[in-house]
Amino acid sequence: MQLKITVVAGDGIGPEVTREAVSILRAVAELNGHQFTYTDMPIGGVAIRQHGSPLPAATLDASLASDAVLLGAVGGNEFNSLPPSQRPEAGLLQLRQALGGFANLRPSIAYPALAGNSPLRPEVTEGANILFVRELLSGLYFGSPRSWNKDTGVALNTMYYTREEVLRVARVAFEQARKRRKKVTSVDKANVLEVSQLWRAAVTEVAAEYPDVTLEHQYVDACAMHLMNTPRNFDVVLAENLFGDILTDEAAVITGSLGMLPSATVGGKVNLYEPVHGSAPDIAGTGKANPLGAILTAAMLLRHSAGLEQDALAVESAVNNVLSQGHRTTDIARSGQPGQQSGQHIVSTQEMGKLVFAALHEIFNRKQALHAV
């Protein structure tokens, strides 16, 4: 397998966590005979300092010429005085738009070793493994007209979808469900919104193409409640832009830390992979950042751009093993005395990366030994 990856580490803790993710990708390539090449390019605040733009043309060109883009994080307080179109976040928005991904995939998984990190009871979260598929390029965030008339005190936004926009993201959800537990929960507000009535009709139309996948419809308010009450009843959750934005953040409590959450944006020219967490400039350079979200994002890259499902599962298993052994960065450590907390070993960003690296080697060595028998 040959893969060209553009790495845009960005700002704050982005370079630290991305370094560990790339280390894992290098290990996968070395151990399994793949050829991955990496091109490091600036984005966000570092690009503004170096080139005067949050998305230099060279970064965009390299991204469009690659097979996948791996992002760290963007943003920094020093740029808050700039106009919105010139801030670091504008570079990320421009990159997403140029790459054209319309479906955002975000897993929400209850790791047994982190059961105590969620505000939900362990018996509620146990076994939860949800994949959210969020439509990313339409809906209320992009619809027009939009305005705020400060003189009249009237503001307007437009929730807008076409049938084709719904059909394409629904097919992504159903394809993912076929690889999992074969169930799609489509979220809408069809009892109030005409847009949701279109959404429901189009999703139902796609469901006919997938007779092996069960479809259920839920109103967004009911879904928000059921995610907290019975999260393991969900498999793939399909939602339009606004509803997906809210529900995915709500479901983060199932895992217990933003630092654990990966994401992928697919469906366009080139897939974009980024951990959910922000740039966290207050801890940048301290070694406190959790690289597991970035490493799990690398696993999604292996799955969705390289088509290496077994390698992706190996990376995810390595993360699970390290957590089960009690290793924690500070954000996922339970309260107690520093250093050794309730049987947990507190490690730095780099140490956590090395632990996953070692666990991954162990998994692959064990597989090779089994094949040799």
- Assigned domain for 97 exists: yes
Number of compact structural domains in the chain: 2
141 a catalytic residue = yes
What does pTM read for this prediction?
0.94
- 237 and 289 inside one domain: no
- pLDDT score of 211: 98
- pLDDT score of 367: 83
189 a catalytic residue = yes
Q: Which residue among 4, 160, 183, 249 is the active-site one?
A: 249
In terms of DSSP H, where are the helices of the chain? 14-32, 45-51, 57-64, 88-99, 122-125, 163-178, 194-207, 220-229, 241-255, 292-304, 309-324, 349-372
Residues spanned by the domain of 83: 1-103+258-373
- Assigned domain for 112 exists: no
245 a catalytic residue = yes
Q: Which residue among 4, 40, 67, 141 is the active-site one?
A: 141
- pLDDT score of 369: 76
| CATH code of 49's domain | 3.40.718.10
- 224 and 333 inside one domain: no
212 a catalytic residue = no
pLDDT digits (tens, 9 = 90+) for 315-354: 999 999 999 999 999 999 986 544 445 679 999 999 999 9
- Assigned domain for 312 exists: yes
- pLDDT score of 337: 40
Considering the chain, what is the average pLDDT of its residues?
95
pLDDT digits (tens, 9 = 90+) for 50-97: 999 999 999 999 999 999 999 999 999 999 999 989 999 999 999 999
- pLDDT score of 83: 93
- pLDDT score of 335: 65
- Assigned domain for 113 exists: no
**Mean pLDDT per segment of 10 residues, for the chain of length 373 residues?**
97 98 97 97 97 98 98 95 93 94 97 94 96 96 94 97 98 98 98 98 98 98 98 98 96 93 97 96 96 98 97 98 96 64 86 98 86 62
Q: 268 is written with which tokens?
A: 């366009």
Q: Which of 240, 255, 270 is the last residue of a domain?
A: 255
Q: Which of 214, 233, 255 is the last residue of a domain?
A: 255
Pick from 350, 363, 352: nearest CA to 323: 352
Q: Which residue among 11, 188, 235, 245 is the active-site one?
A: 245
- pLDDT score of 339: 43
Alpha-carbon distances of 89 from 11, 139, 297, rounded to whole Å? 10, 20, 19
Q: 211 is written with which tokens?
A: 């007779």
Q: Which residue among 179, 221, 269, 282 is the active-site one?
A: 221
Q: Which residue among 11, 111, 188, 189 is the active-site one?
A: 189
DSSP β-ladder status, 271-273 and 264-266: antiparallel
- Assigned domain for 111 exists: no
- 219 and 144 inside one domain: yes
- 214 and 270 inside one domain: no
- 283 and 232 inside one domain: no
- 53 and 179 inside one domain: no
- Neighbour-count burial of 314, counting CB atoms closer than 10 A to its CB (0-12 exposed, 13-18 middle, 19+ buried): buried
- 297 and 266 inside one domain: yes
Name the residue with tokens 């700002």: 11
The answer to whether 185 and 238 have CB atoms below 8 angstroms apart is yes
Q: 231 is written with which tokens?
A: 């999260």
